[in-house]
Chain A
Amino acid sequence: MMSSNDRQKISVIVNGKVMALDNDVSVLDLLQLLEINNRRYVVVINDEVTPKSMYGMTELKQSDRCDIISPISGG
């Protein structure tokens, strides 16, 4: 039987840094892993905005670029 430690890992670039994740991890799983509790953010995968309703259904793939974007001051 395959344990969680034996699962195949994938490399995903999250906010510019490489992360090793399980190969079936969803965007929602990633947000929970990162403990992002903010109410105001947008997830962008490979330069495309991911709708909030799709977080649970969207699985991350090898070499995906995932950015979590939040508001900031601007001029």
Chain B
Amino acid sequence: MQASSWNVYGTELSSRLFIGTALYPSPQVMLDAIKASQSQVITVSLRRQTSSNSDSGDKFWQLTQSLGCHLLPNTAGCYSAQEAIKTARIARELFDTDWIKLEVLGDSYNLQPDPFALVEATKILIDEGFKVFPYCTDDLVLCQKLADLGCEVLMPWGAPIGTGRGLINPYALETLRKRLPDLTLLVDAGIGKPSDAVQVMELCFDGILLNTAISEALDPAKMADAFSQAINAGRLAYEAGVMPKRDMAKSSTPTLDQPIWQQYD
């Protein structure tokens, strides 16, 4: 069974997995993994051409076009609002999309987003018509501010990028979901294994953005399939309604009309 479809900035999607295109051992492995993931959104980036890579950009572009996925360009590597804004403007021209995964980093050790610069860049880019997907921390007040600025989608981290540590603060994510019930929420970064993805989806998050957990698996295509199934399972479980936890045990076998020797006063 497939979980319900969803809507991202007016685009209806059936897959709840966004997948990155970086760090694969080869372009073919990347293609196989993306196809196995059934993802409809792939993240991409941009760089200067040099004499050594003058045709690699076009080859990569052809690969992305062969997949037929929506493109989500990022502003990876930016450490100021101005850098991120410039990169977003170039990305819009290069990829013909107003979607932008807005990354403004504040610390080079844990690659934590800079919340102040993120808000500054978000405000300007939304004014310029961008559909902003901010990569943010799980801070509730920051997320409320980003929503107030017009973000329909937020992408808080589960853990720092590339660490595979899973959800380091599930309480914060659960609080975000409760306090921002109408927003589209994806966990971006930190997911290590499919069970982490199930946990995210059971928290009523709308989707997950993954890269390293798939691209650095021994078999990326198989791991992409595993994540696809896990995300669908977690969402189905949420939609089906998870039973409440109890302190006291409760027999699952009916006791009414059991033979007399098992009846007690």
Contacts and interface: CB of A to CB of B under 8 A. Distances in A.
B25 to A, nearest CB: 12
Residue from the set A34, A39, A42, A71 with the largest chain B CB neighbour count within 10 Å: A71
Contacts of A41: 49, 57-58, 94
Interface string A9-38: 000000110000000000000000011111
B263 interface: no
B49 A70 contact: yes
Interface in B7-52: 20-24, 30, 43-50
A1 interface: no
Interface residues on B, range: 35 or more
Contacts of A36: 49, 54
A49 interface: yes
A73 B56 CA distance: 10
A69 B48 contact: yes
A71 B49 contact: no
A55 to B, nearest CB: 13
Contact-size category for A: 20 to 34
Contact of A49 (B55, B58, B89, B211): B89
A68 B49 contact: yes
B44 A49 contact: no
Q: Is the interface of A mostly helix, strand, loop or mixed?
A: loop
B23 A40 contact: no
Contact of A73 (B45, B86, B90, B161): B45
Majority-rule SS of B interface residues: mixed
Nearest to B45: A74
Contacts of B45: 71-75
Interface string B63-86: 010000000011010000000001
Contacts of A69: 46-49, 90, 94
A74 B78 CA distance: 13
Contact of A71 (B24, B57, B76): B57
Contacts of B61: 39-40, 70-71
Contacts of B94: 40-42, 69-71
B226 to A, nearest CB: 18
A74 B74 contact: yes
B152 to A, nearest CB: 22
Contact of A40 (B21, B58, B73, B90): B58
A31 B82 CA distance: 27
A70 B57 contact: yes
Nearest to B161: A75
23 contacts: A16-B48, A36-B49, A37-B55, A40-B61, A41-B94, A47-B86, A49-B90, A69-B46, A69-B47, A70-B47, A70-B48, A71-B44, A71-B46, A72-B44, A72-B46, A72-B57, A73-B24, A73-B44, A74-B20, A75-B20, A75-B21, A75-B76, A75-B161
Interface of B: 20-24, 30, 43-50, 53-58, 60-61, 64, 73-74, 76, 86, 89-90, 93-95, 161, 211-212
Given A38-B57, A72-B44, A74-B22, 5 more contacts: A69-B47, A70-B48, A72-B57, A74-B73, A74-B76
Across chains A and B, which 4 residue pairs bring their CB atoms closest together, nearest first? A70-B57, A74-B45, A75-B20, A75-B211
